[in-house]
Structure 1
C-alpha cells in the first residue's frame, strides 16, 4: 500500500482521437501531443521519455525506451463529453452520461433576462460562443463605457462572465457568478461551469488576469474524494480541483495561478512526509493559455518546462508515494478550431520502489484511476473503473 497517491492532470494534453471523435465534431487526426511534436520538429521531454511516454504513442523527438521507469498506457473517456468537468469527475470515478447543455447560438432570452434581473447588472454584452481573448478585444471598450458584463460561451458547457477589474470589482464579478450558478443556470440550463473571467488593461491591450474562478456543479455521483474523506484520509486539491468538485470531498484546497505555481505547490507537498491520502493537482495553462489560443509553440515550450519540473518532483517523492500523470481531454492547438478535442489521455504511473514499468494497455475509462486509489486504501470500489494497482 502506498501512503500517498499524487495525481497530476496535464489539462488538455490528449494523445489521439477517440473512435467517436467525429460525433463530437472532431477530426480523426486530432492528437494534441503528437501534432505539437510534429509541428515543432520534435519535443525535448527526456524525463517523460524515461517514464515511457514514447511507448504509449510514437511522438517525434521522444524515444521509446526499452526499460521505462514508469508503467504506461492510455485511457479512453467513458463520459459523453470532452470537457474539464466530465474529465476530472471521471478520473474520480464519476463518469457523465447525460451531456451538460451547450449553446452554440448563445443563451436563450429567458436565461439572459433572469441573469439581468437577479444581478441587477443593467444588461449584458456578447451572448455568443467566442474565444475569451477575442471577445474581450471586441467588447472590452464598450464594457468599460457601459459597465455591462460580457457574457459568452464556447463549445463546452460554460456560462462565462468577463469584466474589467476596475469596472466590476472581483467580489462583484464573483457574486454575479454565484447568482448564475444558484438561480440562473439551473434545471435544463445547468451548465457544467460558470466561469469568472476578469481582465485588465486598455482597448487594444487587454489582458486576462489570474483571478479566474470556476463555479461548478457538484458531482452527480459519489467520487473517490468523498470515499477518502469519509474514511479519514487527507484529500488535497491543487489548482482548479476545488472549483471542479465544488470543494466536495476535499480536506485542503490550494488554488494556483499558473502551471509553475501549481508544480511548486506539488513539489513542496511531496517533499514533506505527509499524511496518508490523495494529492490531486490540475495544471491549467496547457489548456487555457495555449490550447484554446492555438499557440502551438507556447504549448510545446510549456510541455518542455513541465518536463524539467517533473525531474524535481520525482527526486522529492517519498519511497511510499505513487505518482500518476494523466490528462482530462485534448485541445489540439494545430486543429482549425479553438475548442477541446475528444482524445485518449496518457497514463504514466511511477514509484521509486518499482524496478521497471509495465504496459497498462488501453484503459476503457479514466475511472480506472479512482478504482486504483480505492484499491490502494482498501476502500469499497466505486461503480466504474478497474484497478491497475496490482499490475504495477
Structure 2
C-alpha cells in the first residue's frame, strides 16, 4: 500500500478492501470480487447411535403417531359395541389391539371384527401402520449405516444458543460492525466478543471444540482446503452459511493514475465472464488436492513401517468393505467354536487370526462374577497384516 501511495508501483493487489479511507490516498478499480465476514465453528460430532431409533421420523410425525394411539382405542371401543362379544368393549383390550396393529402383530381369528364399522376402522389403521412400518424400517437401516450429524451453527441466533464462545482478532476493527449496529442480535454478539492473537490463535481455539472465530469467508475457505482437510476430503471445521458485512475488493493504483480507466474495463470483462469465481474454485480445488496428497503420502510412509499399525474402530458401515466382510465371515465362526469348546487358561487366551489381509486379535476370558460363571470375547482388527 505504501509503495502504491508514493507512486513507486503502477498497480498492486493484495486483497484490498475498497474503503473511503483508501480512496482518499490511492485510486482503486471497480470491485472484481465481493467477500463476506463469516464465523467458523467446530463441525458437530455425529449423534449417538442409541438415539437412531428416533431419527427416521420428525418430532411432528412422532406426535401424530402418539395422538393416534391415544384417540383410536376409544373409537374402537365405541364401534366394538356392535360386536357380539365383550372383548372389544374394554378400553385396555382396545388399546392393546390398536398397538398390535401398529406393531404389525397378528391377532387370533376370534378377534377378527364382524361389524362393518369396526372392519373399516381396522383396515384403515392397518394400511397406515404398514406405510409407517415400511418407511420407519428403511430409514432406520440408513441411519444405522451412516450416522446422523448434529445441526451445525449457521446463523447468529444459533451461535447465541450454541453454548460456544466467539471472538475475533485483536486488531482490524472487526468487532465495530456489530457494536455499531442497531440490530439486538448483533449487539449481543458484540458484547460477547473475545479477542485472540492472530488467525492461528483463533483457529486453534476453534479446533479445541468450544469457540467460533470470525474472519474473511474467502480466506477461511482457503485455509480449510489447504491446511485443515484430511486425506478423505473431510474437515473438522464448518463455515456458517449466514455471512455478513460485504467487502468490495479491487486493484490499487497511485492517485490519478492513467491506468485506472483501462483496468476498470479489463476488470469488468473478467467479472462478467465469471473468471474470478472460477479461478477461486480452481484455487480451492488445487489446494485441497495438494493437502490430501501430502497426507496420503505421510500415511503410506507410516504404514510401510512394519512396527507401526493401528487398530480400526468398526461400525456397521464397515460391512461395505468386501475383503473385511469376508474376513469376518471366516474369523467369527472359528472364534465361536474356540470359545464353546476350548477353556482359556487363567488370565485369558489371546489368539491372532489372519484372513483376507486383516489380523483379528481375539481375547477371551473365563471367570466368575457374583458367583456366576461368565465367558467373554474381545476382538480387535489390524489392517494390512
Q: State the TM-score, normalizing by the size of structure 2.
A: 0.20
Highest relative contact order (Cα 8 Å, sep 6+), 1 or 2? 1
Structure number with larger C-alpha Rg: 2
Where is the helix percentage greater, Structure 1 or Structure 2?
A: 2
